[in-house]
Amino acid sequence: MNKKIAWIAVLTLAVLASAVGVILAKHENRKQFAVLQSLEKTRDRMSVEWGQLQLEQGAWATHSRVERIARSKLHMVMPDARSVVVVKQATKPSTK
């Protein structure tokens, strides 16, 4: 009878330890899920901002804007056709 009570006590403690482990694991899972959701929101917000920055960069780098600034602030002008020299890169002969 004494052995039977000891086994019941051991099994009861094992069940309680297992239950506490399940509770702790579930709690940790919920905390990590909340962190995941927060990080996903941050990722989405940063993705939107990245798209906006790409659009802004595209607007600042338009050909007409660059040309306008080059003319007004840097006093650059288009060269006339006689002063333009075209340079071609030499190609290697094929060795087949």
DSSP string, 58-71: HHHT-HHHHHHHHH
pTM above 0.75, yes or no: no
Q: Answer yes or no: is pLDDT of 1 > 90.
A: no
The predicted-structure confidence for 5-45, as pLDDT tens digits, reads as follows: 999 999 999 999 999 999 999 999 999 999 999 999 999 99
What integer pLDDT is reported at residue 61 of this predicted model? 87
Domain ranges of the chain: 2-80
Number of other CB atoms surrounding residue 31 within 10 Å: 10
How far apart CA 43 and CA 30 sit, in angstroms, is: 20
For 5, left (φ over 0), alpha (ψ -120 to 50), or beta?
alpha
Separation between Cα atoms, residue 83 and residue 76, nearest integer Å: 15
CA–CA gap between residue 68 and residue 72 (Å, rounded): 6
pLDDT one-digit tens code per residue, 67-95: 999 999 999 998 898 999 989 888 877 77
